[in-house]
């Protein structure tokens, strides 16, 4: 059975959107890698943008092993005392 033209166009569009999302993800990861090279005091949470030096509440932070960006544990749905060695942020987790 030969797929219809509409089906083919739909599949091509889905593939184009997937590639676009992957490109955007790669750009965000590169940006975060560059931010990760800043001094620790100027480090921003990759989720909320709050500076580490302005965090007076003692919240726990965790570094992504992939893009090397820093995040508040709670912003990445981790417990304050949870520090997995292979932590990957939401942007670095492979697309489903």
Q: Could you give the number of structural domains in the chain?
A: 1
For the segment 24-37, the average pLDDT, to the nearest whole number, is 71
CA–CA dist 6, 8 (Å, integer): 5
Structural domain contains residue 87 = no
Q: Which domain holds residue 19?
A: 10-76
Token pair for residue 43? 């480090």
pTM, full prediction: 0.54
Tell me, yes or no, whether 88 lies in a domain: no
Name 44's Cβ contacts closer than 8 Å, sequence gap at least 6: 35, 50, 51, 52, 70
Task: Note whether residue 86 is domain-resident.
Answer: no
CATH of residue 69: 3.30.40
Is 30 a domain residue? yes
32 close to 68: Cβ distance less than 8 angstroms: yes
Q: In this structure, is residue 44 part of a structural domain?
A: yes
Between 26 and 11, residue with greater pLDDT: 11
pLDDT digits (tens, 9 = 90+) for 42-92: 788 888 888 877 777 778 888 989 888 888 888 888 888 888 888 998 888
Looking at the predicted structure, is the pLDDT value of residue 25 above 60? yes
pLDDT score for 16: 92
Residue 72 within a domain: yes
């Amino acid at each position: 059975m030969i797929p219809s033209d509409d089906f083919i166009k739909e599949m091509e569009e889905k593939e184009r959107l997937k590639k676009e999302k992957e490109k955007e993800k790669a750009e965000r990861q590169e940006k975060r890698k560059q931010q990760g090279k800043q001094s620790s005091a100027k480090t921003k949470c990759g989720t909320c943008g709050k500076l580490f030096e302005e965090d007076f509440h003692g919240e726990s932070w965790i570094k992504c092993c992939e893009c090397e960006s820093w995040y508040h544990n709670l912003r990445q749905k981790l417990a304050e005392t949870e520090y997995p060695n292979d932590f990957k942020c939401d942007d670095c987790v492979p697309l489903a």
